[in-house]
């Protein structure tokens, strides 16, 4: 009887862990998908989509060290003198801390600002917070990778 | 780790004007800022034991486009310790999102190379997570400010 009970407990524990792993994988996919959605929304200057991805209290620091809140960030994306031709992220890694997720990765961005072409290769850290079934980005910081 | 390694240096660190972004978070704000201060102090003393307690095992640190893990951050401490350095940090805001706290601020670093002093300034975001009552640094990133 005792053995059966232990076996049952072991099975329940294994099932719980397996479910947790699957759930974490699903959340990881979700957060990575949101990162890619952010790139796409920026490229298309889709402010509605960006509004859904970014928390009201967003803190954004760009690669020039400029700090922006959500409104300032959205204004910088929609600025008419700015065009995004290409934005991709790669080598992304997600780490979960309870209801928070940290994403680090590399980005490549190409576009035009005030008639001048630019190409940025950088590294970023984004902090996402789970709100219900969704995730929202609350902090983002990027710096350029220096050419060697 | 907010350093460029070789270079000059005397250390002082200070946390200046800070405002909590959410009401009723005064105690947590104080605790997070105390950890920021402890981090600066531990850096100045090259105290890897203290840093070990402040950095989460999953820490990711990005400065100047370089990515470092906790182990890499700790490994850099003795190297930095062979040179004095001067770092002045100023946190300007602490934001709370559930069990995570995001600290924003700037820090200034005075570095000397080949006898020439070169000041650098950075804007940072540090992310702390409360784990069983203790705030642990899980992510830190800094972008250089224009000269």
- The structural domain count of chain A equals 1
Q: Do A125 and B62 touch (CB under 8 A)?
A: yes
Q: Is residue B124 part of a domain?
A: yes
Q: What is the pLDDT of residue B12?
A: 38
Q: Do A139 and B123 touch (CB under 8 A)?
A: no
Q: What is the pLDDT of residue A89?
A: 97
- At residue B4, does pLDDT exceed 50? no
pLDDT digits (tens, 9 = 90+) for B72-107: 999 887 665 555 566 777 878 999 998 899 999 998
Q: Is residue B5 part of a domain?
A: no
Q: What is the mean pLDDT of chain B?
A: 79
CB B118 within 8 A of CB B109: no
Residue B14 pLDDT level (bands cut at 50, 70, 90): very low
Contacts of B142 (CB under 8 A, 6+ apart): A141, A143, B2, B62, B63, B64, B107, B122, B123, B124, B125
Distance from CA of B54 to the nearest CA of A (A): 16
Residues of B with CB under 8 A from a CB of A: 21, 56, 58, 60, 62-67, 93, 95, 97-100, 102, 104, 121-125, 127, 129, 131, 138-146
Give a three-class secondary structure readout of chain B: CCCCCCCCCCCCCCCCCCEECCCCCHHHHHHHHHHHHHHHHHHHHCCHHHHHHHEEEEEEEEECCEEEEHHHHHHHHHHHHCCCCEEEEEEEEEEEECCEEEEEEEEEEEEEECCEEEEEEEEEEEEEEEECCEEEEEEEEEEECCC
Q: Do B65 and A146 touch (CB under 8 A)?
A: yes
Check which CATH number belongs to the domain holding B93 and give it: 3.10.450.50
Please determine, for the modelled complex, whether the ipTM score is greater than 0.85.
no
pLDDT digits (tens, 9 = 90+) for B43-66: 877 889 999 999 999 999 998 789
A17 reaches B (C-beta below 8 A): no
Per-residue pLDDT of chain A (148 residues; tens, 9 = 90+): 667 767 777 766 766 666 666 577 889 999 999 999 999 999 999 999 999 999 999 999 999 999 999 999 999 999 999 999 999 999 999 999 999 999 999 999 999 999 999 999 999 999 999 998 889 999 999 999 986 5
Q: What is the pLDDT of residue B91?
A: 74
A42 reaches B (C-beta below 8 A): no
Q: What is the pLDDT of residue B77?
A: 78
- The structural domain count of chain B equals 1
Q: What is the pLDDT of residue B19?
A: 45
Q: Domain range holding B42?
A: 19-144
Q: At A136, list the tokens.
A: 């929202």
Q: What is the pLDDT of residue A25?
A: 86
Q: Do B142 and A59 touch (CB under 8 A)?
A: no
Mean pLDDT of B104-127: 83
Distance from CA of B133 to the nearest CA of A (A): 14
Q: Domain range holding A13?
A: 2-144
CA dist B63 and B70 (Å) reads: 13
């Amino acid at each position: 009887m005792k053995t059966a009970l232990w076996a049952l407990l072991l099975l329940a524990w294994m099932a719980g862990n397996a479910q947790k792993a699957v759930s974490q994988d699903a959340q990881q996919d979700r957060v990575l998908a949101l990162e890619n959605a952010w790139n796409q929304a920026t490229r298309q200057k889709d402010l509605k989509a960006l509004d859904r991805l970014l928390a009201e209290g967003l803190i954004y620091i760009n690669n020039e060290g400029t700090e922006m809140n959500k409104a300032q960030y959205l204004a910088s994306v929609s600025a008419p003198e700015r065009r995004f031709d290409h934005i991709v992220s790669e080598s992304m890694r997600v780490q979960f801390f309870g209801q928070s997720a940290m994403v680090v990765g590399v980005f490549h961005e190409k576009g035009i600002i005030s008639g001048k072409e630019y190409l940025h290769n950088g590294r970023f850290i984004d902090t996402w917070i789970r709100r219900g079934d969704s995730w929202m980005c609350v902090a983002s910081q990027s710096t350029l990778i220096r050419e060697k | 780790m907010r350093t460029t390694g070789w270079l000059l240096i005397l250390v002082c660190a200070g946390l200046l004007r800070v405002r909590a972004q959410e009401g009723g978070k005064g105690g947590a704000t104080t605790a997070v800022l105390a950890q920021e201060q402890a981090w600066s102090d531990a850096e100045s003393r090259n105290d890897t034991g203290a840093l070990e307690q402040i950095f989460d095992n999953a820490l990711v640190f990005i400065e100047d486009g370089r990515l470092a893990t906790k182990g890499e951050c700790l490994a850099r401490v003795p190297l930095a310790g062979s040179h004095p350095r001067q770092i002045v940090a100023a946190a300007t805001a602490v934001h709370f999102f559930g069990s995570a706290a995001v600290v924003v601020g700037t820090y200034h670093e005075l570095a000397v190379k080949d006898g020439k002093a070169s000041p650098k300034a950075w804007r940072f975001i540090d992310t702390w997570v409360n784990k069983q009552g203790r705030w642990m640094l899980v992510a830190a990133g800094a972008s250089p400010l224009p000269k």
